[in-house]
A = this chain, B = another copy of it.
Amino acid sequence: MKAGLSRERLVRAGAELADEAGFDQVTVSALARRFDVKVASLYSHLKNSRDLRTGIALLALEELADRAAEALAGRAGKEALTALADVYRDYAHEHPGRYAAAQLRLDPETAAASAGVRHARLARAVLRGYDLDEPDQTHAVRLLGSVFHGYVSLEMGGGFSHSAPDTRETWSRTLDALDALLRNWPDP
């Protein structure tokens, strides 16, 4: 009875498991259980358990970049800014486990070959709508990354006690503020 395992299917199922049970619950054992297969069978398709987690991280980065690229098509300026921001926030809400996986620290070579570089390019694309030269553009790319990641991660971690005002309101005002800042980037 062949179960039809493959690295592809395993990583995808791992991503689902992460979203359902949390990224830290993603284990080779749990995955084997899910396929109703013995644990050792997975080791023909995965190098080790870290390999599984890395695979999920890379998948999440790809999916995020795909969504971002689609969201940015035909948009510019503040519209592009909020579109990109919402991609990150929505993805984290829809796929908390995958989003957590995307935060996994990758070794430099893997990171360089990942969709991470597309993310940087997409952020730069948003900044084309604002008037920034190097090195300010790089500073701004990093600021965008920081705000998006920091906000989403604090929100998901319960860092903002679910009290008034609504976090969606804060999100919208944060994007207003970022837009204002980029249009009016201060001189050193």
Contact = CB atoms under 8 A, between A and B. Distances in A.
Interface of A: 103, 105-106, 108, 111-112, 116, 135-136, 138-139, 142-143, 145-151, 153-154, 157-161, 164-165, 167, 169-170, 173-174, 176-177, 179-181, 184-186, 188
Contacts of A136: 173
Number of identical monomers bound together in the oligomeric complex? 2
B147 A146 contact: yes
Nearest to A112: B161
A146 B139 contact: no
B147 A147 contact: yes
Contact of A108 (B111, B158, B174): B158
A142 B143 CA distance: 15
Contact of A111 (B143, B147, B149, B158): B158
A103 B150 CA distance: 11
A27 B129 CA distance: 49
A174 B140 CA distance: 8
A105 to B, nearest CB: 5
A1 to B, nearest CB: 36
